[in-house]
Structure 1
Amino acid sequence: MSATEQRIADEETPLLRSNDSNDNTVNGPVKETPLPWRQFGIVLFLQLAEPLTSQVIYPFLPQLIRDLGVTHGDDTKVGYYVGIMQSIFFATQALTVLHWSRASDRIGRKPVILLGLFGLSLSMYCFGLSKTFLGLAISRSMAGALNGNIGVIKSILAELTDNTNVARAFAYQPIAWSSGSTLGPLIGGALSHPAERFPSVFGDSEFMKSHPYFLPCAIPATFSLIAWIVTFFFLEETNPSPFSFRRPVKREKPRKPPTTQKNALDAPVADATTPSCSSSSTSLSLSPSPSIIQPTDQKEYEPVPLLSLLTPRVIVAAGNYALLSLVDIAYRAVQPVFWAMPISLGGLGLTPSTIGVILSILGCGNGIFQVFFFADIHNYLGSRTLYLIGMASAFPLFALFPLTSVLAENFGVGTVVWIAVGAQLGFTLLFNVCYGCIFIYITAASPNKRSLGATNGLAQMLVSITRCIGPAVANSLFSLSLEHGYLGGWLVYYVLILITAVAFAGGTMLPRKLWKRAEH
């Protein structure tokens, strides 16, 4: 085999058959390793802070933009400012998430998560207190800059699992996201303007009247503080050589990676010139004893340099994650604006509380679907096939926007429209399976376990860039389509379908068999 062929084979070698939970053709089915539920449950609890803080603002954000007066009463411009507000968080996160993730490879996952939870809490309190667009922008920027938890938590999940149970772990992961996606919109939709909605409780509060969005923001902010306490006292470090809080005080030495010795012999390694007896001859041998292997180079246990991460497998996995997130964030950015827009402007004219209920139903349904069906479907179809099926569901997902608009214009928001909305939510459930598949690919793509943070950080940086661009572009196109009537006001949907086609083409580059996962 030539050097070129060998390199290609190394890059495309799938998981060993004996270790691949998707391949039961050798030695029968592989028994699934039980998940470490105590730590895994804590991680899911901590992960709830992310969707709570992000989803709580979606139901009232269009109304908040109107209340600030930055659109000067022009509702067609609401989409511009909503898109900017959604993009600011991901813009600052793109600048910092890789650094936080790489730091977690060296000092441990726990210190980085503690800082991230503190940043989430502080930013949400500030968001609720802000009364200007600039104040809102600074608050969201703070949340993105201080929070690197998204990539770090994925690294912890990878370190808590192996090849046999990784699909099961990522099937349970949506419990946190779906719970947050269910509770967040309910909190945001139900508790905004509390002095008006609950006059018997908050009617006399001048603070709630002057800060009508503080209460829904304060709840996820307080939850993040509780999550900080849980992390500090109960989360165990999963990094093989983490930073110790006690090391600077007690001068503890970092743990060294284990040495690898065959047969666990304690005798010193013989010098190459030391003679040894042969069992088949009385003659002396000048060869070293074959029963002892030299200690493994410590560099194999160290995080790899940043440029060394740019292997084909990491690029393919991270690139598909970025394209998936671009499609997803564009959909999520347009969705609440479309629902909130008046019917005369091509929307449905729904209230923030109604939007919150719909998003909560979606979050709850997604959690149930992922937990009970994802792992089994994944093990049956495989990561690549399931990913492509999920991505294909985005085509009808976007096509239903203009169809629903036409139905609402002709029949009003009645039974027919709600059937269309329900169908769209159903396709959303199928689309969301793409995330579990791509997380498995990213975990398998890491060069070694000590580089999991950097690998997830690199992928998350690309995702943050696309999530920064996505809302601004999607909502700007939405507003332009309405303002100028491009393609009957549907230009934005044609563009989103085109982006979906590009993402689907990218998914075809994923290998049918997962890459071999690093063992150390």
Structure 2
Amino acid sequence: MPEDIDEETALLSKRGSKSRTPLPTFQLSVIMLIQICEPIASQSIYPYINQLVSELDITGGDEKKVGYYACESLFFLTEAMTVLQWSRASDHFGRKPILLIGLFGTGLSIFCFGLSRTFWALVASRCLCGLLSGNIGVMKSAVGDLTDRTNRADAFSYIPIVWAIGASLGPLAGGALARPHDRFPEIFSGTFWRDFPYLLPCIATGSFVFLSCYVVLIFFKETAPSGNQKSWVQARDEDEGIMQKDHKCTGPLPLRALLLFPVIISISNYAALAFLSTTLACLLPLFLAMKIEIGGLGLPPPAIGFILSAYGLTTGLFQFLFSARLVRRFGEKRVFATGMIACLPVFVLLPIMSMIARRSGLTIVIWALVGCVLVLGAILDTSFVAIFVFITASAPKSSRGTVNGLSQTYAALARAIAPALSTSLFSLSVQHNLLGGYFIYFVFLVISGLSLVLAESLPDQVWDDFE
């Protein structure tokens, strides 16, 4: 272990880095509490969302059409409409008030989701969550405020770890607490729980979000630069391919001044990564839930919740053990590209599992391949650490919220498109037997290949921070 640390230090020195600055542990812990709220609240619905849509009788009894009506896209679509405004507001008014508004909106919306008894009520609750949630961009801006080039990869490595924990706890709660009158009739026997069969997991996750809101209110200290801080307007030197300082201005920069090559290429790659990771996150539970004869594995919600929890656990362990070290050792670009490559075998293994299940049922080979998909998903998530470093380094300190908000806008659009496209393509493929029902996987193989081409546009080394 000491030899590994010495080798990492030498590599940091070769890349022009100083010794690592200690992380502000307590403040980062509060930020990570904010981070864990979104996956717990949003992904707790995944184990039962397809069953809920079926029970609302929107599909007319045709289970092949469930994918058309899955409403995961709504949060990201509405988030894309407002996240830039919330993030720009954090540059002017501070990170803390925006984070509190986002937490409150998340908690309120998940309670509304559990009380929904019509499809349009579900739509309204998911839209409310997206409109009021500006936390993702603001939270990453706060992490950037608290770190520098020497320790930023370490700090950002906690984001996918904490997300993975939330992605593990959320589906586990959703799968275990859904329809409590069926699973725990001795406790939840009243007609209320029959009328609102999915309220209990919403109560559990919503209460956690409101508790987190209180912790942030009491303990979080403002991290945004003061409003009168001077910033450099940046320009790109076309000959050298690097950033140059131009002239000073006071406070956050206008949006147009930020639309430069480092910002644009970082955001583009982040959007591609968000699209593919969200596709996997939404396609996997749908694949697990659909009957074997129509291209899935036909698993019940508790089993799906367990698998998704295992996915979160696998991702979290991988990030904790390897992500920051991999970035320091191999550089941000190589780590990012390697993660993107992991998408390719995922979209090969899913149709293979379907073919095996149709022929032999749920054999041990199926479960082994599910494990392989989980590991590949963990490798994919390592790319987030690398791209967060690229985005943060491309932004002036006084406009970090704006750049993160802009990146989150395009990532949210990608995440809005991904569920609708993936679930609709799944239904379209099996309904019309396109490529034997596996047309969807061919489409995403092509998209994964194109994303690798885009990743090559990133520089070999991250540009230096700008004031």
- TM-score bracket for this pair, using the shorter chain length: over 0.9
Does residue 478 (structure 1) correspond to residue 426 (structure 2)? The answer is: yes
CA shift for structure 1 position 173: 2.0
User: Partner of 1:280 in structure 2?
Assistant: none
User: Partner of 2:108 in structure 1?
Assistant: 122
CA shift for structure 1 position 299: 5.2
Match of 1:416 among 339, 353, 365: 365
Matched residues in 2 for 1:330 and 1:21: separation? 38
CA shift for structure 1 position 301: 4.5
Match of 1:399 among 348, 351, 359: 348
User: Partner of 2:222 in structure 1?
Assistant: 237
Identical amino acids, percent of aligned pairs:
42
Matched residues in 1 for 2:355 and 2:408: separation? 37
Amino acid at match of 2:423: N
Partner secondary structure for residue 48 of structure 1: helix
> Matches of residues 133-172 of structure 1 in structure 2 within 5 Å?
133-172=119-158
Amino acid at match of 1:90: F
Matched residues in 1 for 2:15 and 2:452: separation? 32
Does residue 311 (structure 1) correspond to residue 260 (structure 2)? The answer is: yes
Matched residues in 2 for 1:155 and 1:21: separation? 29
> Matches of residues 13-412 of structure 1 in structure 2 within 5 Å?
23-25=12-14, 30-82=18-70, 85-203=71-189, 205-241=190-226, 256-257=228-229, 300-412=249-361
Aligned residues: 446
User: Partner of 2:5 in structure 1?
Assistant: none
Amino acid at match of 2:210: L
Matched residues in 2 for 1:62 and 1:218: separation? 20
Q: Deviations over 1:25-47 (max 9, x none)?
A: 388x7321110111111111121
Does residue 492 (structure 1) correspond to residue 440 (structure 2)? The answer is: yes
- The answer on whether the counterparts of 1:21 and 1:30 sit within 8 Å (CA) in structure 2 is no
Matched residues in 1 for 2:420 and 2:339: separation? 24
The structure with more radius of gyration: 1
- The answer on whether the counterparts of 1:91 and 1:144 sit within 8 Å (CA) in structure 2 is yes
Matched residues in 2 for 1:382 and 1:407: separation? 39
Matched residues in 2 for 1:81 and 1:355: separation? 19
Normalised by the length of structure 1, the TM-score is: 0.83
Q: Deviations over 1:375-402 (max 9, x none)?
A: 1111111110111111011000111110
Q: Deviations over 1:139-177 (max 9, x none)?
A: 000000010000000000111111110111112222321
Q: Deviations over 1:463-502 (max 9, x none)?
A: 1111111111111111000000011111100001111111
- The answer on whether the counterparts of 2:315 and 2:375 sit within 8 Å (CA) in structure 1 is no
Matched residues in 2 for 1:372 and 1:172: separation? 11
User: Partner of 1:262 in structure 2?
Assistant: none
Amino acid at match of 2:401: G
Matched residues in 2 for 1:122 and 1:299: separation? 42
Matched residues in 2 for 1:132 and 1:152: separation? 33
Amino acid at match of 2:389: I
User: Partner of 2:456 in structure 1?
Assistant: 508
Greater Cα shift, 504-513 or 372-381: 372-381
- The answer on whether the counterparts of 1:123 and 1:139 sit within 8 Å (CA) in structure 2 is yes
- The answer on whether the counterparts of 2:160 and 2:384 sit within 8 Å (CA) in structure 1 is no
Q: Deviations over 1:194-248 (max 9, x none)?
A: 0110011112x22111100001011111111111111111100001226xxxxxx
Matched residues in 1 for 2:67 and 2:44: separation? 18
Does residue 466 (structure 1) correspond to residue 451 (structure 2)? The answer is: no
Matched residues in 2 for 1:366 and 1:156: separation? 23
CA shift for structure 1 position 22: 5.5
Matched residues in 2 for 1:202 and 1:211: separation? 11
Higher helix share: 2
Matched residues in 1 for 2:24 and 2:88: separation? 25
RMSD: 1.8
- The answer on whether the counterparts of 1:333 and 1:474 sit within 8 Å (CA) in structure 2 is yes
Q: Deviations over 1:96-142 (max 9, x none)?
A: 00000000000000110111111101100000000000000000000
Q: 1:22 to 1:160 in 2, by over 3 A?
A: farther
**Stretches of 4+ moved more than 3 A in 1?**
20-23, 256-259, 297-301
Normalised by the length of structure 2, the TM-score is: 0.93
Partner secondary structure for residue 130 of structure 1: coil
Q: Deviations over 1:359-384 (max 9, x none)?
A: 10111111111011111111111110
Matched residues in 2 for 1:513 and 1:61: separation? 42
Amino acid at match of 2:204: I
Amino acid at match of 1:220: T
Matched residues in 2 for 1:72 and 1:468: separation? 25
User: Partner of 1:450 in structure 2?
Assistant: 398
